[in-house]
Amino acid sequence: MPDPVIILGAGPAGLACAYQILEQSPGRRVVILDKAPFVGGAGGSFQWKGHTLDFGPHAFHTRGDAPERMVRGLFADQPDLLIQGRKQVHVYLRGKRLKYPLQISETVLKFNPLLSLLIVIEFLLTSIFHALVSIPIENFEAWGKKRFGPTLYKMSFGDYTEKVWKTKAAKISEKFASEKIQGFSFINLIRRLLRIGGQVTEPYFQTWIYHKYGSGRLYARLAEEIRASGGEILLGTGVRSINHGERRVLSLLLEPGIPCPELPCGWLVNTVPLPAFVKLFGGQVPFVVRHAASKLRYISLILVYIEFALDRVSDDHWFYLLDPKFRFNRVTEQKNLSAFTMEPGKTVLSLELTCRVGDEQWRMSDAELFELAKQDCRNIHYVRDKMIHITDYHVKRVPNVYEIYFKGFDQHAESLLDYLSGFENVSTIGRRGLFLQGDQHQSVEMGFQMAGLLANGCPDGQALDAFLRKYAKYIDDY
Ligand SMILES: Cc1cc2nc3c(=O)[nH]c(=O)nc-3n(C[C@H](O)[C@H](O)[C@H](O)COP(=O)(O)OP(=O)(O)OC[C@H]3O[C@@H](n4cnc5c(N)ncnc54)[C@H](O)[C@@H]3O)c2cc1C
């Protein structure tokens, strides 16, 4: 029997890849390894008291494409287990609760008229200036100011970006903006105000599906299907190192204590964080590549879950705290995705705080973090009045969860991808594996694409290159 396809990581990308390989090539040996004790990666769920909680509610975005069809197909026999809906998102800006995507009537008209006038004048002057003078845009701040003018940029993106990433926006790559905010256009807002057209821009996906009992159930079902088709999923299984020759990965050496210490490898699909993956190749990795790996950084996340003895606190799914006075970035109410994830008569808000492993906030006790979260709750008018109904709290710390697009990150990531492309039986996919800012359906799509390439034997360098260029858009064309 040929050596197996080994997939590192049982998140959306790894599971989707295994599922599709087994669909297209029944009988092929596929082994998934994950160091976590559960499947689903960041899209998994856990139990707290009678609640099923996600690591921040995870709605699966829908576009009528293959990832959505896969999810619906998994539950074809019980379609009522899937709930579908439209995102209900608000932002808190200058003490006002505004609908998101921003509506012109609110953005311009709800503020002090002088501020609105300033925003419009700045925008016009900035646009004229940039039409006359060509200045290279070298960071996120410059990108935002050019596109929106200084005041609107600072209010709507600048302050928030610095809070989330704990760094000056001038240090963040302009490529971050093109990944995350490209759909937002101030011109469209103005056009709609003047009633001369202007499409409704939707920078984020607006429609979703969600498992009635939490995001993790979707991946648990996917894992069941993989196992039923003969795939192996080894959870709680860390990899110590990768045994490789000059151009081929030969086997994976697993952490001590695992019954089979070495797994031979026919093809290796990676979905774990890119720098951690390259580190597994050991001391033969060239210094420049190891240096580039050390420059790819992450921000970590603390989730404070607050339980209320109330049916609902709000009708929002996501509520962004844009004003700098807030310590937390975002509040979510998972019950608004599915009431079945909560104990009857209760709801849970999750408050998200980004930080670095080991910093002051990371080291705070759970009780201190709860106090910090309550301070923010007191500044949110619709939560403040309901705080007397708080009954309990729970804290989760998730290290290194968001990729930081510091200036130059693209060259560092490219250096790692270039190194890996020297191996004829390795591919790297998914949010983590490509150092992307993507969502679940994008990871699933990449899993499918890679499975398609593997179904025809072993993809050649050209096919892998085309794959990278499609998904790692930050790599400049040459
Ligand atoms: C707070 C938050 C909210 C989000 N909300 C949404 C949302 O609403 N909708 C949406 O579509 N997306 C959302 N996302 C993004 C979504 O989580 C990711 O896009 C998706 O999980 C990426 O899937 P992946 O398989 O590429 O990576 P992951 O889900 O990160 O999976 C990687 C897997 O690799 C494993 N692993 C890591 N290191 C090792 C190792 N050394 N050895 C073995 N295994 C390892 C991990 O345990 C994990 O299971 C959110 C992300 C966060 C952080």
Domains defined for the chain, CATH in brackets: 5-84+213-286+407-471 (3.50.50.60), 102-193 (no CATH), 297-403 (3.90.660.20)
From the CA of 71, how far away is ligand 1's center (Å)? 17
Most confident of 20-29, 144-153, 255-264: 20-29
Per the CB < 8 A criterion, the answer to whether 170 and 134 are in contact is no
Range of weakest confidence among 10-19, 155-164, 268-277, 406-415 = 155-164
Most confident of 180-189, 269-278, 458-467: 269-278
Output the pLDDT for position 199: 47
In this predicted structure, the answer to whether residue 107 has a pLDDT above a threshold of 80 is: no
From the CA of 35, how far away is ligand 1's center (Å)? 13
Number of other residues whose CB lies within 10 A of the CB of residue 181? 19
Output the pLDDT for position 102: 65
Output the pLDDT for position 219: 98
Q: What is the rounded distance in angstroms from the CA atom of residue 451 to the CA atom of residue 429?
A: 11
Q: What predicted TM-score, i.e. pTM, was given to this entire model?
A: 0.93
Q: Which of 215, 271, 338, 401 to mutate to test the pocket of ligand 1 (most atoms within 8 A of CB)?
A: 271
First to last CA, the chain: 41
Q: Which of 439, 442, 471 to mutate to test the pocket of ligand 1 (most atoms within 8 A of CB)?
A: 439
Most confident of 79-93, 212-226, 246-260: 212-226
Nearest CA to 277 out of 249, 310, 315, 313 is that of 249
Q: Which of 15, 31, 34 to mutate to test the pocket of ligand 1 (most atoms within 8 A of CB)?
A: 34
Is the C-beta atom of 211 inside 6 A of ligand 1?
Answer: no
Confidence at 96, pLDDT banded by 50, 70, 90? confident
Please tell me whether residue 245 adopts helix, strand or coil conformation: coil
| Per-residue pLDDT tens digits for 279-328 | 999 999 999 999 999 999 999 999 999 999 999 999 999 999 998 899 99
Output the pLDDT for position 105: 62
Instruction: Output the CA torsion sign for 398, 400, 406, 410.
Output: negative
In this predicted structure, the answer to whether residue 178 has a pLDDT above a threshold of 90 is: no
| Per-residue pLDDT tens digits for 417-449 | 999 999 999 999 999 999 998 999 999 999 999
Q: ∠ at Cα 471 (25, 75), nearest 5°?
A: 50
In this predicted structure, the answer to whether residue 132 has a pLDDT above a threshold of 60 is: yes
Confidence at 63, pLDDT banded by 50, 70, 90? confident
Pairwise pLDDT comparison (391 vs 261), residue with the higher score: 391
Output the pLDDT for position 455: 84
Output the pLDDT for position 31: 97
| Per-residue pLDDT tens digits for 21-46 | 999 999 999 999 999 999 999 999 99
Output the pLDDT for position 209: 97
Range of weakest confidence among 90-104, 172-186, 257-271, 411-425 = 172-186
From the CA of 98, how far away is ligand 1's center (Å)? 29
Output the pLDDT for position 122: 84
Is the C-beta atom of 275 inside 6 A of ligand 1?
Answer: no
Per the CB < 8 A criterion, the answer to whether 430 and 16 are in contact is no
Q: What is the rounded distance in angstroms from the CA atom of residue 285 to the CA atom of residue 282?
A: 6
From the CA of 42, how far away is ligand 1's center (Å)? 3
Output the pLDDT for position 308: 98
Q: What is the DSSP string of 108-177?
A: TTSS-HHHHHHHHHHHHHHHHHHHHS-----SHHHHHHHHH-HHHHIIIIIHHHHHHHTS-GGGB-HHHH
Is the C-beta atom of 337 inside 6 A of ligand 1?
Answer: no
| Per-residue pLDDT tens digits for 330-388 | 999 999 999 999 999 999 999 999 999 999 999 999 999 999 999 999 999 889 999 99
Confidence at 212, pLDDT banded by 50, 70, 90? very high
Mean pLDDT of the chain: 90
| Per-residue pLDDT tens digits for 284-296 | 999 999 999 999 9
In this predicted structure, the answer to whether residue 144 has a pLDDT above a threshold of 90 is: no
Output the pLDDT for position 193: 52
Output the pLDDT for position 101: 66
Per the CB < 8 A criterion, the answer to whether 263 and 251 are in contact is yes
Is the C-beta atom of 43 inside 6 A of ligand 1?
Answer: yes
Output the pLDDT for position 201: 45
